[in-house]
């Protein structure tokens, strides 16, 4: 799955997640984009959609988590930093799903 900016959409791309605005599903997942649909998506006030394609993170998940440990090494015992690290770890893991 890949997050793609709405101005980079091309016909033929397939939605990996539904397009949602507020609580409303505007376009269902698995739908293939057409030029008309892309124009509509560009006008609803969202910035990105999820496209069915391999993720494009610049480093591997293991590497990303290793770097996370390194970044936090000076502050792990400080207030709230453990919580923040846990949340960021979960966030990073989510980017590789």
Partner 1 sequence: MIDIEIKDFRRRVENINSLPTIPNNLKQISKIIEDPLISLREIGDFISNDPALTTKILKMVNSAFYGFPGRISSASFATVLLGLNVIKGLLVGFSVFEVMQNTMLGLWEHSLGCAITARSIAKRRGIKDYDDVYVAGLLHDIGKIILFLEYPNEYKETMNKAKLNNFTIVEAEGDQFVADHAEVGAWLAEKWLFPRNLIEVIKYHHIPQVSKNASIETAIVHSADVFMRAKGVGFAGDPFVPELDPVAFEMLKLSETDIKEILEEMEDFMVSGKELPQ
Q: Nearer to partner 1 by C-beta: 14 or 91?
A: 91
Q: Do 56 and 34 contact (CB within 8 A), yes or no?
A: no
Which residue among 30, 46, 55, 93 contacts partner 1 (CB under 8 A)? 46
Which residue among 31, 78, 93, 96 contacts partner 1 (CB under 8 A)? 78
Q: How many CA atoms lie within 13 Å of 47's alpha carbon, on the beta-carbon side? A: 1
Spatial separation of the C-alpha atoms in residues 13 and 37, rounded to whole Å: 11
Q: Footprint of partner 1 on this chain (CB under 8 A)?
A: 3-7, 42-43, 45-48, 64, 67-68, 70-75, 78-81, 83-85, 87-88, 90-92, 95
């Amino acid at each position: 799955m890949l997050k793609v900016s709405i101005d980079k959409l091309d016909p033929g791309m397939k939605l990996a997640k539904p397009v949602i605005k507020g609580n409303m599903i505007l376009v269902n997942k698995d739908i293939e984009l057409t030029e008309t649909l892309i124009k509509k998506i560009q006008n609803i006030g969202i910035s990105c959609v999820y496209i069915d394609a391999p993720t494009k993170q610049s480093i591997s998940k293991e590497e990303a988590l290793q770097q996370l440990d390194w970044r936090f090494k000076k502050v792990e015992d400080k207030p709230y930093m453990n919580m923040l690290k846990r949340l960021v770890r979960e966030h990073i893991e989510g980017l590789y799903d």
